């Protein structure tokens, strides 16, 4: 029998079943079934693991079914490969922006009003690049690499987890104490 750790991981986050359902995008009844040890699809397990910020394998105390174990390993490998590919493409766009910026900066020294070119590129270019990334690039990357996450959403999840951890630490402040 495959023993799950979902209850333990959820409680370590200080979450209710409802919160885990909301964070993962699955139904409350699904969370209840998972915690009761019932089977679920790898997609559902992936959503729950992503919400809890752990690999799918960490949702289990033990996986005794060899078929499930190999499917979980395969899912993790595909997720890692897709994330690496997505990160390479995103970083290539960032380095392209920086490279063009360096050329524009060097050219700005040759023009009488080069400061305008310099500021136009670094400020305007950043705004345009950010808009293009969010409107064009990220949706294409989402479609091409469905198991990956954009950097912004990964950072937001890490910040939310850190914030929740610090708040749960502040919940135990003695009465009369102030939290700064």
Q: What is the pLDDT of residues 45-93, one digit of tens each?
A: 989 998 999 999 999 887 888 888 898 889 889 989 999 999 999 999 9
pTM for the model stands at: 0.69
Mean pLDDT, all residues of the chain = 85
Q: Is the dihedral of CA 9, 14, 17, 23 positive or negative?
A: negative
Closest CA relative to residue 2, chosen from 63, 66, 87: 63
Closest CA relative to residue 96, chosen from 128, 139, 134: 128
């Amino acid at each position: 029998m495959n023993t799950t750790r979902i209850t333990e991981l959820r409680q370590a986050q200080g979450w209710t079943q409802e919160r885990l359902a909301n964070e993962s995008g699955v139904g409350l009844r699904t969370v209840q079934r998972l915690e009761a040890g019932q089977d679920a699809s790898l997609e559902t397990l992936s959503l729950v693991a992503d919400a809890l910020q752990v690999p799918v394998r960490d949702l289990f105390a033990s996986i005794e079914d060899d078929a499930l174990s190999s499917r979980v390993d395969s899912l993790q490998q595909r997720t890692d490969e897709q994330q690496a590919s997505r990160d390479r493409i995103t970083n290539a766009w960032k380095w392209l922006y920086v490279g063009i910026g360096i050329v524009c900066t060097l050219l700005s020294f040759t023009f009488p009003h080069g400061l305008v070119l310099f500021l136009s590129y670094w400020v305007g270019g950043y705004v345009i690049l950010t808009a293009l990334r969010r409107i064009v690039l990220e949706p294409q990357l989402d479609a091409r690499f469905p198991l990956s996450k954009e950097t912004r959403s990964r950072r937001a999840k890490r910040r939310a987890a850190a914030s929740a951890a610090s708040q749960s630490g502040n919940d135990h402040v003695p009465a009369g104490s102030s939290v700064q």
